[in-house]
């Protein structure tokens, strides 16, 4: 059947983001979000082309939000859904790719919950509710971690005693895999290589930020680790700090683990450095007006990003290009310029005019002559989830 329909669902503890995707189409037929679930203010917002609407959800439980989605889909779909694709944050070592959801897969997602205590249980709630409402079609789980399961042991192991890995699963997993996979595939197409080919550095810069090195469609290393706190400076997350910081804060300030987790996840990053905001747009404006905290935050963000990318480059035999994506990567000419400026060692040279004049939301190349490609590529994780879901349905069963 051609042009099949897939409902893509990203379920959090109090929200469900969704997109109704049609095979081969770059834009969703409809997309939106049910939010403030399990509160009296629960609502469903959606848009489809020019139409948009917000309505209250009388009973704001996940299941009634799914039932409201079903009614919406019946309004816009000219054929039955072929699958529901669910974003799941942590697949641990169990999942190296997309999986058709059955009881065993749900148990395995549950078993990985200690690695993502906020996310996996919420993802499972969404899966349960969706399987009740969309009962007759396959449901597929797509994991943020799966793309990075190709990392070699020398990239994913921490220098800790073996038992912590072999018994307790303490290792680097990486996240944002769906986005890094999507943009590196697009990069191959944009540069005339076969789909998935090429030697790429990828920077996904949103509220969460991660870098990744990809060779011929396989992730070889990435900046996030056991949890999405490791690596780059992010909106409110610190990224890498000295691992002795916990002990230091406990000894000198008497802080307990929840207080330190709050500090590193919610009060640090661009927000902590600037003392102003976690939002790059606001920081760019404040920097231009001479705000020293905003200036420092942007400098540290770009330097640490460049340092991470240069480090990851050691995994490659050559460099075909660097990709910027995510809200900051796609929109901030300043961040791209400052970052590339630190990367002359990789032969990267920016075309300043192309960098600043790139239209919003459009993919483009911004390198100078003689430089590996520097590409700005809008990410589309929902499209990747829809495509992987359909590819799995088409795969011959072994």
What is the rounded distance in angstroms from the CA atom of residue 392 to the CA atom of residue 388? 6
329 annotated as ligand-binding:
yes
The verdict on whether 107 is a catalytic residue reads no
Cβ atoms 202, 323 nearer than 8 A: yes
> Could you tell me which residues come within 8 angstroms of residue 147 by beta carbon, excluding any fewer than 6 positions away?
174, 177, 178, 180, 181, 219
By the rule CB under 6 A, 284 interacts with ligand ADP: yes
The least CB distance from residue 306 to ligand ADP, in Å, is 18
Q: Which is nearer to ligand ADP, 31 or 96 (CB)?
A: 31
Among 345, 353, 299, which Cα is nearest to 322's?
Answer: 345
Minimum CB distance to ligand ADP, residue 375 (Å): 17
Interface segment toward ligand ADP; rule CB under 6 A; list 78-86, 102-110, 156-164, 321-329: 321-329
Q: Which residue bears the tokens 């942007």?
A: 298
Nearest residue (CB) to ligand ADP, 152 versus 275: 275
What are all long-range contacts of 337-341, with beta carbons under 8 Å and residues at least 24 apart?
338/298, 338/299, 338/302, 338/303, 339/203, 339/302, 339/305, 339/306, 339/309, 340/306, 340/374, 341/302, 341/306
| Complex with ligand ADP: residue 47 or 281, whichever CB lies closer | 281
**The tokens 């039932």 sit on which residue?**
67
User: Does 378 contact ligand ADP by CB under 6 A?
Assistant: no
Pick out residues in 165-204 that bind ligand ADP (CB under 6 A): none
Q: Is 196 annotated for ligand binding?
A: no
Stretch of 246-254, 255-263, 273-281, 343-351 contacting ligand ADP, by CB under 6 A: 273-281
Q: How far is the CB of 280 from ligand ADP (least distance, A)?
A: 4
CB proximity list for 143: less than 8 A, separation 6 or greater: 88, 89, 90, 91, 95, 98, 177
The span from the CA of 34 to the CA of 13, in Å, is 11
Residue of 144, 221, 320, 380 with catalytic role: 144
Strand 51-56 with 99-100, pairing: unpaired
Tell me which residue of 393, 350, 356, 358 sits closest to 378, measured CA to CA. 358
Among 13, 15, 31, 207, binds ligand ADP (CB under 6 A): 207
Q: How far is CA 56 from CA 10, 59, 170, 219, in A?
A: 20, 9, 43, 42
**Cα–Cα distance measured from residue 70 to residue 9, given in angstroms and rounded to the nearest whole number:** 12
Compute the least distance from the CB of residue 33 to ligand ADP, in Å.
Answer: 12
Per DSSP bridges, beta strands 139-143 and 99-100 are: antiparallel
Q: Does 338 bind ligand ADP (CB under 6 A)?
A: no
Tokens 């990318």: give the residue. 309
Is residue 347 marked as binding? no
Q: Could you tell me which stretch among 64-72, 300-308, 324-332, 351-359 binds ligand ADP (CB under 6 A)? A: 324-332
**Does residue 331 have a known ligand-binding role?**
yes
Q: Which is nearer to ligand ADP, 138 or 327 (CB)?
A: 327
Task: Tell whether residue 293 is among the known ligand binding residues.
Answer: no
What are the counts of helices (DSSP H) followed by strands (DSSP E) for the chain? Answer: 15, 14
Give CA torsion, residues 322, 326, 330, 336, to 10 deg: -50
Please pick, from the candidates 253, 281, 288, 311, the single residue that binds ligand ADP as defined by CB under 6 A. 281
Of 32, 239, 326, 372, the residue at the interface with ligand ADP (CB under 6 A) is 326
Nearest distance, CB of residue 359 and ligand ADP, angstroms: 12
Q: Is 205 annotated to bind ligand?
A: yes
157 marked as binding residue? no
Question: Is 242 annotated as belonging to a binding site?
Answer: no
Residues of span 80-139 touching ligand ADP by CB under 6 A: none
Q: Name the phi and psi angles at 88, rounded to 5.
A: -125, 135
279 is in an annotated binding site: yes
x/- contact string, 228-267, with ligand ADP (CB under 6 A)?
A: -------x--------------------------------
Using the structure block, give the residue that is written with the tokens 């009614």.
Answer: 71
Total chain residues near ligand ADP (CB under 6 A): 13
Query: Contact with ligand ADP (CB under 6 A): which of 206, 228, 239, 293?
Result: 206
Bind-site residues: 10, 17, 87, 204-208, 279-281, 327-331, 381
Bind-site residues for Mg(2+): 10, 381
Residues annotated catalytic, as ranges: 144
**Interacting residues with ligand ADP (CB under 6 A):** 206-208, 235, 279-281, 284, 326-328, 331-332
């Amino acid at each position: 059947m051609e042009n099949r329909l897939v409902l893509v669902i990203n379920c959090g503890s109090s929200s469900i983001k969704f997109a109704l995707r049609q095979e081969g189409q770059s834009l969703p037929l409809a997309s939106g979000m049910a939010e403030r679930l399990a509160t009296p203010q629960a609502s469903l917002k959606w848009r489809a082309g020019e139409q948009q609407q917000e309505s209250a959800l009388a009973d704001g439980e996940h299941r009634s939000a799914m039932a409201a989605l079903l009614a919406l889909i019946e309004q816009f779909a000219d054929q039955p859904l072929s699958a529901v694709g669910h974003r799941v944050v942590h697949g641990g070592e169990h999942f190296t790719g997309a999986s058709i959801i059955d009881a065993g897969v749900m148990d395995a997602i549950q078993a990985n919950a200690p690695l993502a205590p906020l996310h996996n249980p919420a993802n499972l709630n969404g899966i349960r509710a969706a399987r009740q409402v969309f009962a007759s079609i396959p449901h597929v789980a797509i994991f943020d971690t799966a793309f990075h399961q190709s990392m070699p042991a020398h990239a994913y192991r921490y220098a800790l005693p073996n038992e912590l890995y072999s018994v307790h699963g303490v290792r680097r997993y990486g996240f944002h895999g769906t986005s890094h996979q999507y943009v590196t595939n697009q990069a191959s197409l944009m540069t005339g290589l076969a789909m998935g080919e090429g030697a790429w550095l990828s920077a996904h810069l949103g509220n969460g930020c991660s870098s990744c090195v990809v060779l011929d469609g396989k992730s070889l290393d990435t900046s996030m680790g056991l949890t999405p706190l490791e690596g780059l400076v992010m909106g409110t997350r610190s990224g890498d700090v000295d691992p002795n910081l916990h002990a230091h804060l406990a000894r000198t300030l008497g802080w307990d683990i929840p207080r330190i987790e709050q500090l590193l996840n919610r009060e640090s990053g661009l927000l902590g450095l600037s003392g102003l905001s976690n939002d790059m747009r606001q920081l760019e404006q404040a920097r231009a007006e001479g705000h020293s905290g905003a200036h420092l935050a942007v400098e540290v963000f770009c330097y640490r990003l460049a340092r991470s990318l240069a480090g990851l480059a050691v995994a490659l035999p050559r460099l075909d290009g660097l990709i910027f994506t995510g809200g900051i990567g796609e929109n901030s000419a300043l961040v791209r310029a400052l970052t590339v400026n630190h990367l002359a060692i990789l032969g990267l040279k920016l075309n300043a005019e192309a960098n600043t004049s790139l239209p919003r939301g459009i993919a483009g190349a911004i390198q100078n002559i003689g430089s590996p490609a520097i590409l700005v590529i809008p990410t589309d994780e929902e499209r990747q989830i829809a495509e992987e879901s359909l590819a799995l349905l088409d795969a011959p069963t072994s």
